[in-house]
Structures are given as C-alpha cells and as structure tokens.
Amino acid sequence: MSDVIQKISDVQQSMRLALSKDDWEALSELDLQCRDLVQQAMDQATGDKLIVRDAIVPLLELYKHAVAACERHRDELAEELQTFNRQRSGAKVYQNCQF
C-alpha cells in the first residue's frame, strides 16, 4: 500500500511540473496514471482509508488548479481562433475587391 501512495505522490509531482510547463499532453498521460493509482489505493485500503485520503486530498487541490489552467488555455485558444477568423474574413473581402 505504501508503494502505491508513494507512486501517487510521484505522479502528483510530475503533474505539477507538467502543469507549470503547460505540457497538456504529459498532463493527460499523468492523469490516466493517477486515476489508476488512486483506484489501486482504494482497492488495497482495508483499514488504511485515512492514509489514502491524506494522499488524495492534495490531488484534489492540484486538479482544481489544473482545471482552471486548462479553462484559461482553452479561452486563450478560442480568442486566437476568433482573431484569426476575423483577419481571414478581412483578407477575403480585400481580395474580392475589384478596382
């Protein structure tokens, strides 16, 4: 059980690093690992549910930050796409002008 808890901690640190680098691909892969490890910890926890809870609570905070960062990134990309589409429309109008 302590091996799984240590792995959760390791993945959590890796997730923090990926989040700080905006490495969404790595974060996605680490999320899958984390989910698997949490499931393993829950399956192995017989009387040690407090240990599992203590390992998972910091993950919840990390996930809150990750979701907020993801939403900000999504909004930035949406704004860039809207700007691109406006510029493209303007270029088409200019190209279609006949002098």
pLDDT per residue as tens digits for the range 8-62: 999 999 999 999 999 999 999 999 999 999 999 988 877 778 888 888 999 999 9
pLDDT band at 98 (very low <50, low <70, confident <90, very high): low
* 88 vs 13, higher pLDDT: 13
pTM of the model: 0.75
The pLDDT of residue 99 is 58
Cα–Cα distance for residue pair 53/38, rounded to 1 Å? 10
DSSP 1: -
Structure tokens at 88: 């493209």
DSSP 47: S
